[in-house]
Structure 1
Amino acid sequence: MERFKDQSDLDAALVRLGQLDRRCVPFIELCQPIPLRQRPGGLGGLLRILLGQQVSVASANAIWQRFEAAYPGMEAKALAEASEEDLRACSLSRPKIKAVTRIAQAFADGFDPDGLLEQGLSVVRTELLALHGVGPWTADIYLLFCLGGRDVMPSGDLALQVAAAHLVGADERLSAKQLEELAASAWQPERSAAAHLLWAIYRDLKAGRDGVI
Structure 2
Amino acid sequence: MTQHLHTQADLDRALGELTLRDPRLAPLLALTGMPALRRREPGFAGLASTICGQQLSTHAAAAIWARLSAAVTPLDAERIRRARTDRLGRLGLSAAKIRTLKAIAGEVMKGHLDLDELAGAPADEAHARLIALHGIGPWTADIYLLFCLGHGDAWPAGDLAVQEAIRIAFVLPTRPGTKETIALGDAWRPWRGAAAHLFWAYYKLAKAPGFAAAPALAPVEAGTEPATKPARNPNADRRSRPEAKPAASERLKRAKP
Aligned equivalent of 1:76: 77
Distance 2:23 2:118 in 1: 35
Q: Percent of aligned positions with the same letter in both sequences? A: 40
The 5 Å alignment of 1:33-182 reads 33-110=34-111, 111-182=113-184
Q: 1:59 to 1:168 in 2, by over 3 A?
A: same
Distance 1:94 1:28 in 2: 42
Q: Which runs of 5+ in 1 are unaligned?
A: none
Q: Which runs of 5+ in 2 are unaligned?
A: 215-257
Aligned equivalent of 1:2: 3
Give, as a single letter, the amino acid of the residue that structure 1 aligns with 2:41.
P
Q: Deviations over 1:116-168 (max 9, x none)?
A: 44443333223212221111111111111111111121101111111111111
Kindly state the Cα deviation for residue 211 of structure 1 after the two structures are TM-superposed. 6.0
Kindly state the Cα deviation for residue 179 of structure 1 after the two structures are TM-superposed. 0.7
How many positions carry a matched residue from both structures? 212
TM-score by length of 2: 0.77
The 5 Å alignment of 1:193-212 reads 193-208=194-209, 210=211
TM-score by length of 1: 0.92
Aligned equivalent of 2:237: none
Q: 1:8 to 1:212 in 2, by over 3 A?
A: farther
Farther off after superposition, 41-50 or 113-122 = 113-122
Q: 1:212 to 1:38 in 2, by over 3 A?
A: farther
Contact 2:44-2:77 at 8 Å conserved across structures: yes
Kindly state the Cα deviation for residue 175 of structure 1 after the two structures are TM-superposed. 0.7
Give, as a single letter, the amino acid of the residue that structure 2 aligns with 1:103.
I
Kindly state the Cα deviation for residue 36 of structure 1 after the two structures are TM-superposed. 0.8
Give, as a single letter, the amino acid of the residue that structure 1 aligns with 2:27.
P
Which has a greater percent of helix? 1
Aligned equivalent of 1:31: 32
